[in-house]
Amino acid sequence: MPELPAEMLLIDHGAGGGPEVLVPSRGPVPAPRADEVLIRTMAVGANRPDVAQRSGSYPPPPGASPVIGLECAGEVVAVGAAVTRWKIGDRVCALTNGGAYAEYAAAPEAQTLPWPRGFDALRAAALPETYFTVWANLFGHGRLAEGESVLVHGGTSGIGVTAIQLAKAFGATVFATAGSPAKVAACREIGADHAIDYRADDFAEVVKQATGGKGVDVVLDMVGAPYFAKNIRCLKLDGRLVMIAFLNGHVAESVDLRPIMVKRLTVTGSTMRPRTTAEKGQIAQALEAKVWPLLEAGKAAPRIHATFPLAQAAEAHRLMESSAHVGKIMLTLP
């Protein structure tokens, strides 16, 4: 086993606040627990939950690293006593429980996957957070099936790009919303059958007209309260509304609930971070079996908008909060 340094570069967010609180710092290299691998990180994904944790609204679960960061790719440099699949030198990507904004990050073996064939560290690191989330919610809770239709909000976000691509790859008709003509064009280029500029058009009316008044089978929503009633309008009989974030608020008032009963709708949602390692491990197994072959065949791919050195994490967060990006924002290490 190679000798590891005692300390590493990490990004500290102090007591929380705006992007400016993200500063390079030094801290101890984590020791992997029995079921964990230690990864020398080469690339890290920046995600909306990181912004929420930085601002103080999304604290890490008990026992997780206080350092921000939910996904990374790199080389295994140490393994816990109970690890059986990975060995030192393996190149992996992982959904971490925290701690990815650092030179070394620990992750449970069950949440760790090989780089898809032909991928480098940057593209591998862009996978875990969005692919775990989309698979669990769109195909798990949302039960999206071949021949069905889905409305994806935030179509040019990392989640949106992944949802559009996977929905198309598994045979669904895809509607997507975005906030500018350029982003609408990007949704179509990514694979959406119908792309809607929500600033210019009523997405519920567009969906109604395009489906002959029937609606879609599934809505994947990250906006929250302002969209709740319109999402319900968009769904057909036995439709499913899946909520994965509340970017614009979580309290919906004066909503007519009768369509939920009349149309036999399912309203559900989830977050990834509180799930158990066993639950995340099941998602990882499904991804490796059903989605990794699509990535290796070029039928889906992460879209990377911008890359920053780890020390410039604050700039990455500023870009994310501007919502000017299409796809993933990444951090790299030497």
Domains of the chain and any CATH numbers: 7-127+273-332 (3.90.180.10), 131-269 (3.40.50.720)
Whether 40 has a pLDDT exceeding 80, the answer reads yes
Q: How many CA atoms lie within 13 A of 159 on its CB side?
A: 28
pLDDT band at 1 (very low <50, low <70, confident <90, very high): low
pLDDT band at 3 (very low <50, low <70, confident <90, very high): confident
pLDDT band at 253 (very low <50, low <70, confident <90, very high): confident
In this prediction, residue 2 carries a pLDDT of 63
In this prediction, residue 255 carries a pLDDT of 86
Question: How much is the pTM?
Answer: 0.96
Per-residue pLDDT tens over the stretch 273-330:
999 999 999 999 999 999 999 999 999 999 999 999 999 999 999 999 999 999 999 9
Per-residue pLDDT tens over the stretch 174-191:
999 999 999 999 999 999
Q: What is the DSSP string of 146-207?
A: TT-EEEESSTTBHHHHHHHHHHHHTT-EEEEEESSHHHHHHHHHHT-SEEEETTTS-HHHHH
Please state the φ and ψ torsions of residue 263, each to the nearest 5 degrees: -95, 5
Whether 92 has a pLDDT exceeding 90, the answer reads yes
pLDDT band at 10 (very low <50, low <70, confident <90, very high): very high
In this prediction, residue 259 carries a pLDDT of 94
